[in-house]
A = this chain, B = another copy of it.
Amino acid sequence: MPANRVFLDAGGQSPVSRRAADALLAGLADGWADPTRLTHESRRARALLDGAREAIADVLGADAAHVHFLPSGHVAAERVTAGIFRARRGRERIVASAVERRAVLDAAEHAAPGAVDLLSVDGAGHVDLDELATRLGHPSTALALIQHANQEIGTVQPVDEVAQLARRAEVPLVVDASASIGHIEAPAEWDALLAEPADWGAPAGLGIIATRPRTRWLPAWPGEGWAPGGVSIPLALAAAVALQERRESHEANRARLAAHTARMRDALSGLEGVTVVGDPDSRVPHLLTAAFMYLDGEPVVTRLDREGFAVGSGSACGTAAFEPSHVLAAMGALTHGNLRIGLHPAVSDDDVERFISTLPRVLEDVRRSMTSH
């Protein structure tokens, strides 16, 4: 990345560390063979894959035998939803929070067309636990999809209470931890967990499903197992190394990034027509979203880009760059224009201050150009 660039769009994909890149190359040198075959080369590849799986399982709080690499985060969301749904034959509805990632909502709608019940959220993005309890009590509910942290606003859901309700109702709970693993501790209770290595600084191209030994699922796709045909072993190795790297500096990063986002929340809230959304306390440290009154997101992103700052806008996981955010809509927040910030651990105090001092001028420019048309 050029020295003058400040990357503030690290929710999802971000620059890959030297250690993760080295792991990728090591995985390429020793893990190129098909791990299902019986030769020396295949045994070596299998050992690397197993090692990567164990390292990741340890951070997820899962059994390595029940941690599965999928060829993408979208495929992981699709399969965990369809697989558990299929094993609940006779129950035809899925309950999900309205602020789940688009990939998860699409997976639910695909598995149970027209039978997805969306849970409303409050102004900070928390699910309504009473509504959840009611839905879980319904005999037609096959499974629940509730995220750990939100990919746009950073709000952390009360997953312990959610898990307790699901356990009591005997409804399998899938927790999407794609925006939290690598940033805060993994949630403790779930029947299946989703994680995405690109979000913790690994190269993109892999998704992870963890299940419990008790979790029942049936394949709802061609072939056997969660990922027939397998996945890239170099990517799996890089994912494990990147997660280890984040974990080593977890505490230090967490405090530093939380201070950065707190500083930004303060500064942005003071700007006219700007509202910072999401829970100010119960949140992942690196994410922040601000909603604009009257302003479009696109020209703000484009001008900031020209000034050297990469930020996001629209929906974090939409297929188009400026799909309006369903997360903000569900919270009753402004959805006209917004700014989404995801801090990489390498972001410095100086980067943050430069951004804070640049933004008011950019917003003013955009406002002026909009009124002059």
Contacts and interface: CB of A to CB of B under 8 A. Distances in A.
Interface of A: 1, 5, 7, 9, 12-16, 21, 24-25, 28, 32-34, 36-42, 71-75, 77-78, 102-103, 106-107, 109-110, 203-205, 221-225, 227-235, 298, 301-302, 305, 310-313, 317-322
Contact of A72 (B38, B103, B227, B312): B227
Contacts of A71: 71-72, 74-75, 205
B205 A231 contact: yes
8 shortest A-B CB distances, which residue pairs? A205-B232, A74-B229, A106-B222, A71-B71, A110-B222, A39-B310, A71-B72, A107-B222
Contact of A203 (B1, B7, B28): B28
A15 B38 contact: no
A312 B37 contact: yes
Contacts of A203: 28, 32, 232, 234
Nearest to A202: B32
Contacts of A5: 40-41
Contacts of A227: 72, 74
A39 B229 contact: no
A193 to B, nearest CB: 18
Nearest to A233: B204
Contacts of A75: 71-72, 75, 229
A9 B37 contact: yes
- Residue among A73, A74, A106, A321 with most chain B CB within 10 A: A74
Nearest to A223: B106
A106 to B, nearest CB: 4
A75 B36 CA distance: 18
Contacts of A9: 33-34, 37, 39, 41
Contacts of A21: 25, 28
A228 B106 CA distance: 10
Given A75-B229, A203-B234, 16 more contacts: A1-B41, A5-B41, A9-B34, A16-B28, A24-B24, A24-B234, A32-B204, A36-B318, A36-B320, A38-B302, A72-B231, A78-B222, A102-B223, A103-B222, A205-B205, A228-B319
A326 to B, nearest CB: 14
Contact of A38 (B24, B78, B305): B305
Contact of A77 (B222, B233, B317): B222
Contacts of A74: 71, 222-223, 227-229
Contacts of A229: 72-75, 103, 317
